[in-house]
């Protein structure tokens, strides 16, 4: 079995990160230890675009959840990954996360596979605006509305029907179109050019390092499959089994922060 330090020391490593990397920042994951209590169904693109009530529910929940997601800070794992990039050992980072914590830790070559919660896009004119601007507008439209709920991995909060009732949604300031977070919902495809960019990155790599992803869906697993087809060594650090275990040269079931901090110290 290839030691993790040896695999990373060779350079040209592509990192594929998932929700498990951000749990130490207080953001729960989907299928790992912190996500087991999750009960809410994720929003789909079809429901969001087809129902005003679904949009009201989404934005009310997301308005509450953003208070935690927007204030989350990078943890030791994010900082270690950024440090490996600064030392020239990483050729790129593909993240399935939408929290922006890789960039907040100082990483620069980051592809946000599923987009970012810190941006909002209009579905009519396609204008993108900072999430902070929308939060100010939502607060102004709902001056006496207040709710609290358990935060979900998607960046929203679990709220009751009574808590959602009366919440006012705002539309695009430029054209009046529907606003959506600049993330990929279930039922929505990742843009082809973004997928191609990730495949190209893997194609130029010497190895693939998977961090905190269960690889339970094709969105991330396809890059592990491609790496295996190319004969690249694959290392997976995750708490619990993953869909890519059969292709891995190295499997570590361990906390991400401590493991990556130790790795960075050894290199």
Active site residues: 114
Ligand-binding annotation for 13, yes or no, is no
The response to whether 189 counts as a known ligand-binding position is no
Do the annotations mark residue 68 as ligand-binding?
no
Six token digits for residue 184: 């990929």
Asked whether residue 175 is marked as a ligand-binding residue, the answer is yes
136 annotated ligand binder: no
DSSP 1-56: ---HHHHHHT--EEEEE-GGGSGGGT---SSSGGGTT--PPPPBHHHHHH-HHHHH
Maximal CA-CA distance, the chain: 59
Is 125 one of the annotated binding-site residues?
A: yes
214 is in an annotated binding site: yes
- Residue 17, annotated ligand binder? no
Q: Which residues contact 22 (CB under 8 A, 6 or more apart)?
A: 29, 72, 75, 78, 97, 99, 101, 212
Annotated binding site for NAD(+): 96-99, 212-214, 238-240, 256
Report the binding-site residues.
96-99, 122, 125, 172, 175, 212-214, 238-240, 256
Positions at the binding site for Zn(2+): 122, 125, 172, 175
């Amino acid at each position: 079995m290839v030691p993790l330090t040896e695999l990373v020391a060779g350079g040209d490593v592509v990192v594929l990160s998932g929700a498990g990397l951000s749990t130490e920042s207080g953001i729960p994951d989907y299928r790992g230890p912190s996500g087991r209590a999750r009960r809410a169904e994720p929003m789909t693109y079809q429901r969001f675009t087809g129902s005003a009530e679904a949009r009201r529910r989404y934005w009310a929940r997301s308005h509450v959840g953003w208070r935690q997601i927007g204030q989350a800070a990078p943890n030791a794992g994010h900082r270690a990954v950024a440090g490996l990039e600064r030392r020239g050992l990483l050729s790129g980072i593909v993240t399935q996360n939408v929290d922006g914590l890789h960039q907040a830790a100082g990483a620069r070559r980051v592809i946000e596979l599923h987009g970012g919660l810190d941006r909002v896009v209009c579905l009519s004119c396609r204008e993108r605006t900072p999430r902070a601007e929308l939060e100010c507008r939502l607060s102004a439209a709902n001056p006496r509305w207040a709710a609290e709920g358990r935060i979900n991995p998607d960046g929203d909060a679990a709220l009751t029907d009574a808590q959602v009732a009366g919440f006012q949604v705002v539309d695009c300031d430029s054209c009046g179109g529907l606003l959506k977070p600049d993330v990929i919902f279930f039922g929505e495809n990742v843009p082809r050019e973004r997928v191609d960019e990730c495949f190209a990155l893997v194609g130029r790599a010497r190895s693939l390092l998977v961090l905190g992803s269960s690889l339970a869906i094709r969105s991330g697993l396809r890059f592990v499959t491609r790496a295996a087809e190319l004969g690249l060594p694959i290392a997976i650090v995750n708490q619990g089994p993953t869909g890519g275990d059969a292709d891995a040269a190295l499997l570590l079931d361990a906390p991400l922060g401590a493991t990556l901090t130790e790795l960075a110290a050894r290199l």
